[in-house]
Amino acid sequence: MGGSLTEASGECTVAENSELDSKEPLATAVHDLEAAEARLAHARAEEAAAGRDIELAVEEIKDAERDRDTVEVHVTHVNEVEKASFREKLASTLQKVWDISYIELKIPHEPKDVFQTAGEHPKSLMNHLGLTLDEARQQKVIENFCFGIASETGGA
């Protein structure tokens, strides 16, 4: 009845308009929400991508630092005629390099073994085992990172 009266009085359009008016802000809000959610998803994807980029960059920095702080070491076992190469930190001592050499060579450490430089002019490093590779190089105890292991000999 009222509807009719409203229709009759021409108030129907106003009511409908009023209903539409009340729906538009909701639609807008939903639209805005969806847009915001889309932006958030995009931002999250960007954040994830940036996180991966950061991890990659950190790894690259670590690799660069590793290359800068380590050197390739070469060790020859004279008696067993075997050779090994491995990377080692410049901060590692000659004792540590000697110890690791046996692991890399897969040869047991004999009691009378001597750690020495390699090449044409080998010299014993037994009095310098506490020096780091860097210190040994700076003090000219070693000229390079090539080493030898040989058994002590008897003579004199």
Partner 1 sequence: MARANELPTQDIQAGATALDEDIPRILRIMEASSLEDLGWSRPNKLSLLVPMAGIHQGNEDHYLLRLGFQAYRKWPPSAQFVNPETKGYVYPNDQRFVPKLTSPECYTHIAYRPTPQATPVQLVCCSTTLEFYEVLHHVKPEHLWRETDTFLTTIMAIRKALTSFYGGRFSDNGQ
Per CB under 8 A, residues contacting partner 1 are 76, 78-83, 111-112, 116, 120-124, 148, 150-156
**Closest to partner 1 by CB, 82 or 135:** 82
* Of residues 21 and 120, the one with the C-beta less far from partner 1: 120
Of the pair 28, 85, the CB lying nearest partner 1 is at 85
Tell me, rounded to whole angstroms, the distance of Cα 101 from its chain centroid: 25
Least distance between partner 1 and beta carbon 135 (Å): 20
Give the separation between CA 96 and CA 129, rounded to whole angstroms.
8
97: exposed, middle or buried (Cβ count in 10 Å: 0-12, 13-18, 19+): buried
Give 10 or 111: the residue with its C-beta nearer to partner 1: 111
Task: Give the shortest CB-51-to-partner 1 separation in angstroms.
Answer: 46
Q: How far is the CB of 108 from partner 1 (least distance, A)?
A: 13
DSSP assignments along 123-147, one per residue: -B-TT-TTSBHHHHHHTTS-SSSEE
Which residues, at least 6 apart from 142, have a Cβ–Cβ distance to it below 8 Å? 117, 125, 133, 136
Phi, then psi, of 82 in degrees rounded to 5: -130, 155
Smallest distance from the beta carbon of 114 to partner 1, in angstroms?
A: 9
The nearest distance, CB 82 to partner 1, in angstroms, is 7
Nearer to partner 1, 9 or 151 (CB): 151
Distance of CA 92 to the CA centre of its chain: 20
